[in-house]
Amino acid sequence: MEFIKPFLASITATDDPAPEIVEMREKLLALLLLSFTILSAAPVGLGSYLSLRNDQPVFALAYPVLYAMVFLAAVLGRRLSFRVRANALLVFGVGIGVTDLFRVGLGGVGVAALTAFSVIAAILYGVRAGLAVLALSIVSVIVAGAALLTGLVQPESEALLTTYSPVAWITAAMIITLFALVLILAPETFRRRLQLSLREEERKTEDLTRTVGKLRQEVEARIVAEAALGESERRFRQLAELLPETVFETDLEARLTFVNRACVEVFGYTEAELTSGMTAIDMLVRDDVERAASGMVRVMRGEDLGLREYTARHKSGAEIPILLRSAPVHRGGELIGLRGIVIDISEKRRVEKHLAQAQKMEAVGTLAGGMAHDFNNLLMGIQGRVSLLHARKDVPEGALTHLSVIEEHIESAAGLTRQLLGLARGGKYQPAVTDLNQLVQRSLELFARTHKSLTPVLDLQEDLWSARVDRHQLEQVLLNLLLNGWQAMPEGGELAVRTRNLELDADHAAAMDLGAGVYVCIAVVDTGVGMTEEVRRRIFEPFFTTREQERGTGLGLASAYGIVRNHGGAVEVESAPGEGSTFRVLVPAEPEEEPVQRKEVAEELPGGSETILVIDDEALILSSIQPLLEMLGYRTLTASSGRAALELLEADPARVDLIILDMVMPGLDGPATFERIRQIPCEARVLLSSGYSVEQSTAALMEQGCAFLQKPYRIEELARKLREQLDQSPALSQAS
């Protein structure tokens, strides 16, 4: 029985068809089961009846058993597996065919049944199952024929044996084989070709699906790239609009295709004017056109020229210094134009000029300060001698007149040195919080009294802030500005002085080389002839003047500039020919401080009996100041150097009540000598004296309790300053 298992396995084997074919077979099986259950009921019953009548009990039993199998398979349906129901149908069909062969031979439905169910097996299970059932059918025909012809099985009618011969049985077997093979193989071949075609279509469909997927990915990637490009362009344009510098793009002909808002603001054209055929070359002055065109060609060739300086032209015709840098623009690998940035350096140039002027003034101021120092020492010697002669009772009346004239000349010379000191660094005497409205009003009133051709106009802000200034120097500034305005109006005119509070932000302050903060502005406005740009640029240069030599020295405005700068302020001027001039003086304000009231000068010359040590390297000063001090009643000691003074003090520090200390001396200068004096237990007060004005080192000593007296000074100033210091408590011991 072992040979039956492979045979049954081949019958029940499937060819793993597609799901669609499986479903089709399922429906076909259900239809076949239902059809055979209905259609075979009568033939099966008749066959069973005839078998009983012909005394064939085995066949009579086989018919109902086989029918029962197909009936149950049809009734139970899908509650049974496909394989069980299909096998039941095949067993039914093959069994009916074999039974008919043995019962009636070739005269029944046996051959047809075997042929049909071989095909059904192929349809339900595949070619192998069909061929297996076909082989079983052929064997059944041969066996049945042999059994009937040899008498092993008695047929239902003896006539069958005479009707059919062995040849007939062999022919029947061949017919079964031929028809079954055709019916099995032809549909299968068609099915396989169809399946191959379907698989080819599936492959093509899969390829098409993959292609469509790739195309979809490419389209999506392109959409993303275009979106990113659009976002990048929007970001570029937004950043370009936010930049304070000009951003532009051109085509290959240098025509502007894009400009940002800053370009419109800097050059004065509208965006429509700029991008309607105007070229980048059109915006430059004629002298720079050729150089700019050559530069554009070089940039398009790939050269990096960096920042290049040109002079552009505003819509109004005004020239604008600029820095330009550009780069080639490519799209799709092709050069389409240029993209660049333009920086307006007008403000930078103005600041550079302002700084150059300040540096020049600083250098000149240093020289002027040294000259003023030496000149003041000479004036001090002369003033001392004149004061001594004034004190003598035997001087003739005519000589006294000459002495008074000499003193007037000394005062005039001292005024000249004050102008020179205004140019020097640190050129402040004794600054104090001052009411500038009061100072301005007094200065204009005094000036107007002696210049009747003017119409003075005073415009003062009521709540004007106070400022810490040297009153005498600022009066000198106002005098110089008023004098300049008067000289600019030879036929008379209106001379106005205005005061205002100003608060400067960092940008406006930096443009004037100042720090951000609050300032007081004093503006002097005339209606005179005005100035050209060349004169305006040089107006603050020392010794520069547009007037005849006998009418001016060229130091007035230069000293005013130096004085204001030394106060931490700035001077601005606006002027044009025929439109008058406006000078603005800005000094740092101190809104919270109260102005210091001026004290009236006493007419008497106070003296004393204290001991005073004079330290000065100028013999002319020592020889003139010692008699003055003695005339005031003081005991006097002199030292021509810092070291000589230290030796004298170390010998007997208690005998000195006050020290007059020169600030500029060879060897140990004033500050160094002061530091050494502090190390000696000396309680004498110190009065600083110098041909220079108050400098940083001098101011530092004044903060430690020292007083200051500017050379040249008259005996009245000396007497008052000495008495003020001597009447105070000792300072050096406290400062130490």
Average pLDDT over residues 323-344: 86
Residue 265 has pLDDT above 90, yes or no: no
Residue 700 has pLDDT above 70, yes or no: yes
How is 273-337 classified by DSSP, letter by letter?
HHTSS-BSGGGB-HHHHHHHHHHHHHHHTT-----EEEEEE-TTS-EEEEEEEEEEEEETTEEEE
H-assigned helices in 107-165: 110-125, 127-150, 159-163
Residue 380, C-beta contacts closer than 8 angstroms, at least 6 positions apart: 618, 620, 621, 624, 625, 691, 711, 712, 713
What is the model's pLDDT at position 660? 92
Between 127 and 80, the more confident residue is 80
Tell me the per-residue pLDDT of 38-65, one tens digit each, with 9 for 90 and over.
887 777 777 777 777 777 777 778 778 8
Side chain identity at residue 415, one-letter code: G
Q: Residue 368: enclosing H or E segment and its boundaries?
A: helix 346-391
Average pLDDT over residues 303-317: 87
Residue 654 has pLDDT above 80, yes or no: yes
Between 434 and 366, the more confident residue is 434
Side chain identity at residue 576, one-letter code: A
Percent of the chain beyond pLDDT 70?
74
Between 264 and 736, the more confident residue is 264
Percent of the chain beyond pLDDT 90?
4
Between 176 and 5, the more confident residue is 176
Lowest mean pLDDT segment, chosen from 44-48, 177-181, 498-502, 564-568: 177-181
What is the model's pLDDT at position 519? 93
What is the Cα Rg of the chain in Å? 63
Residue 624, C-beta contacts closer than 8 angstroms, at least 6 positions apart: 380, 381, 383, 384, 385, 388
* Structure-token match 């000078």, residue found: 583
What residues pair up with 428 in beta bridges, in sequence order? 694
Residue 238 has pLDDT above 90, yes or no: no
What is the model's pLDDT at position 3? 41
DSSP 8-state code for residue 254: -
What is the model's pLDDT at position 597? 56
Q: With cut-offs at 50, 70 and 90, classify the pLDDT of residue 187.
A: low
Q: With cut-offs at 50, 70 and 90, classify the pLDDT of residue 634.
A: very high
Between 565 and 406, the more confident residue is 565
Cβ contact 712:628 at 8 Å = no
Tell me the per-residue pLDDT of 151-174, one tens digit each, with 9 for 90 and over.
676 666 555 554 566 666 667 667
Best-predicted range by mean pLDDT among 11-20, 71-80, 171-180, 723-732? 71-80
Distance CA 618, CA 640 (A): 7
What is the model's pLDDT at position 8? 45
What is the model's pLDDT at position 650? 87
Best-predicted range by mean pLDDT among 15-24, 256-265, 398-407, 494-503? 494-503
Q: How does the average pLDDT of the chain come out, rounded?
A: 77
Residue 338 has pLDDT above 50, yes or no: yes
Residue 371 has pLDDT above 90, yes or no: no
Residue 630 has pLDDT above 50, yes or no: yes
Q: How far is CA 471 from CA 429, 461, 474, in A?
A: 9, 19, 5
Residue 271 has pLDDT above 80, yes or no: yes
From the list 674, 679, 704, the residue with the least C-alpha distance to 690 is: 674
Lowest mean pLDDT segment, chosen from 258-262, 278-282, 546-550: 546-550
Q: With cut-offs at 50, 70 and 90, classify the pLDDT of residue 108.
A: low
What is the model's pLDDT at position 394? 66
Residue 312, C-beta contacts closer than 8 angstroms, at least 6 positions apart: 267, 283, 284, 285, 319, 320, 321, 322, 342
Average pLDDT over residues 410-415: 64
Average pLDDT over residues 97-118: 74
What is the model's pLDDT at position 690? 80
Average pLDDT over residues 360-376: 65
Between 249 and 183, the more confident residue is 249
What is the model's pLDDT at position 6? 45
Tell me the per-residue pLDDT of 89-106, one tens digit each, with 9 for 90 and over.
888 878 877 777 777 766
Lowest mean pLDDT segment, chosen from 185-194, 202-211, 471-480: 185-194
Average pLDDT over residues 362-388: 66
Q: At 251, phi and psi to the nearest 5?
A: -90, -170
From the list 123, 134, 117, 120, the residue with the least C-alpha distance to 188 is: 123
Residue 611, C-beta contacts closer than 8 angstroms, at least 6 positions apart: 634, 635, 636, 637, 655, 656, 657, 658
What is the model's pLDDT at position 522? 93
Tell me the per-residue pLDDT of 513-563, one tens digit each, with 9 for 90 and over.
888 889 999 999 988 888 888 777 777 776 666 655 444 445 667 778 878
What is the model's pLDDT at position 626? 86
Average pLDDT over residues 453-468: 87
Lowest mean pLDDT segment, chosen from 116-130, 474-488, 537-551, 706-720: 537-551
Residue 409 has pLDDT above 80, yes or no: no
What is the model's pLDDT at position 601? 41
